[in-house]
Amino acid sequence: LNWNPSLWSETFEDLVDDGGELDYGDSWTLNFNYSQTEQVSKEERKKGWKVCTHYTIGNFRCANCRRTWPSGRVNVLFRYRLRGRRGNVIMRPFGQACRRCHDVFLLPGFSKEIMKAALRKLCSKIRKNCYNEDEGDTPRDMVKKWTKPHETDLCEACEAGICTQRDD
């Protein structure tokens, strides 16, 4: 499984348009920014931006040595806001470096099931923070996967200071 932003966009569209996840008559879009952080400035806060971080299961493939590995701690960051009738989500996936090559952070691949779970959790946060709905039972990842211990020196989210070793 490789990083596939168009599949994330399609899945988000399906959940919002056909799945009724954000059934308020507003138009929502999902975009990507591979350098955004979880910091929201005072100015951004005034403009309505909020942040949601989520970790889940993903897979990586080294472009150099072709090694693949699963990870039970892949961090994704969502920045979102609703202005007027338009909602905007900006997503950043955090990568991991190959244990052998150590050269660059590689972007994760996700199963469709995992993508849906992450986006449903995001939609739950949006309903709470943009529409004042009770969050209720926050959707959790349905699948837990045993993987090798987390290696902080290979984790882009650890380097950015947003990776945690606890359940959120």
| Residue 165: inside a domain | no
- What would the pLDDT profile of 96-108 be if each residue is shown by its tens digit? 999 999 889 999 9
Q: Dihedral angle at the C-alpha atoms of 155, 157, 160, 166, nearest 10 degrees?
A: -110
* pTM of the model as a whole: 0.88
How many structural domains compose the chain?
1
Q: What is the pLDDT of residue 53?
A: 93
Phi/psi of residue 12, nearest 5 degrees:
-60, -45
**Each residue's pLDDT tens digit, 8-45:** 999 999 999 888 899 899 999 999 999 999 999 999 99
The count of other CB atoms within 10 Å of the CB of residue 121 is 21
Helices 112-131 & 5-13 angle (0-180, nearest 10): 50
132 assigned to some structural domain: yes
- Please give the helix or strand (H or E) that residue 44 lies within, else none: helix 42-46
Full residue range of the structural domain in which residue 152 is found: 5-160
Whether 64 is covered by a domain: the verdict is yes
CA atoms within 13 A on the CB side of 58: 25
Is 85 inside a domain boundary?
A: yes
Q: Please report whether residue 91 resides in a domain.
A: yes
Residue 166 resides in a domain:
no
